[in-house]
Amino acid sequence: MIEKEEIDRIIEEYDKEKIAVGTIGSHSALNIFKGAKEEGLRTVCICRERDKILYQRFPVADEIIVVDDFSSLIDDEIQEKLRRLNVILIPHGSFNAYISMEEILNSLYVPIFGNRKLLSWEIDREKQRRWLQQAGLNLPKIFDNPEEIDRLVIAKFPGARGGKGYFLASSPENFKEKTEKMIRYGQLKEEDLERIYLQEYILGVNAYFQYFHSILNDEVELLGMDKRYESAVDSIGRIPASEQLQIDLNPTYTIVGNIPITLRESLLPEVLRMGDNVVEVSKRIAPPGIIGPFCLETIITDKLEIYTFEISARIVAGSNVGIGTSPYAYLKYGEGMYMGRRIAMEIRHGSEREELEKIVY
**Residue 27 DSSP one-character state:** T
Q: Is 35 in the site for ligand AMP (CB under 6 A)?
A: no
Site map for ligand AMP, 212-251, x if CB under 6 A? ----------------x-x---------------------
Within 8 A by CB and 6+ apart from 304, the residues are 264, 267
CA distance 306 to 296: 10
Question: Which residue lies nearer to ligand AMP by CB, 207 or 279?
Answer: 207
C-alpha of 184 from chain center:
32
* In contact, 123 and 101? CB cutoff 8 Å: yes
Check binding of 163 to ligand AMP (CB under 6 A). Answer: yes
> According to the binding rule CB under 6 A, does residue 299 interact with ligand AMP?
yes
For the chain, strand residue ranges (E) read: 20-24, 42-48, 63-67, 87-89, 142-143, 153-156, 167-169, 197-200, 205-214, 219-232, 253-260, 292-300, 306-312
Binding pattern for the stretch 72-111 against ligand AMP, x by CB under 6 A and - elsewhere: ---------------------xx--x--------------
Q: Which residue from 309, 328, 338, 361 is in contact with ligand AMP, where contact means CB under 6 A?
A: 309
* Contact status: 41 vs ligand AMP (CB under 6 A): no
Which run of H or E residues covers position 82? helix 76-84
The correct pick among 33, 113, 166, 209 for binding ligand AMP (CB under 6 A) is 166
Query: Cα separation of 7 and 66, whole Å?
Result: 25
Among 86, 128, 179, 199, binds ligand AMP (CB under 6 A): 199
Q: Is 61:33 a contact under the CB 8 Å cutoff?
A: yes
- 327-330 long-range CB contacts below 8 Å, 24 or more apart? 327/262, 328/222, 328/223, 328/224, 328/225, 328/262, 329/223, 329/224
| Region 130-149 residues binding ligand AMP, contact defined as CB under 6 A | 140
Among 107, 171, 206, 252, binds ligand AMP (CB under 6 A): 206
Q: Based on the shown chain and the rule CB under 6 A, indicate whether residue 168 belongs to the binding site for ligand AMP.
A: no
Any contact of residue 290 with ligand AMP (CB under 6 A)?
A: no
Contact between 151 and ligand AMP by CB under 6 A: the answer reads no
Asked whether position 315 contacts ligand AMP by CB under 6 A, the answer is no
| DSSP state for residue 65 in the 8-state scheme | E
If one asks whether residue 27 binds ligand AMP (CB under 6 A), the answer comes out as yes
Binding site for ligand AMP (CB under 6 A): 26-27, 93-94, 97, 140, 154, 161-163, 166, 199-202, 206, 228, 230, 253, 255, 258, 297, 299, 309-310, 317-318
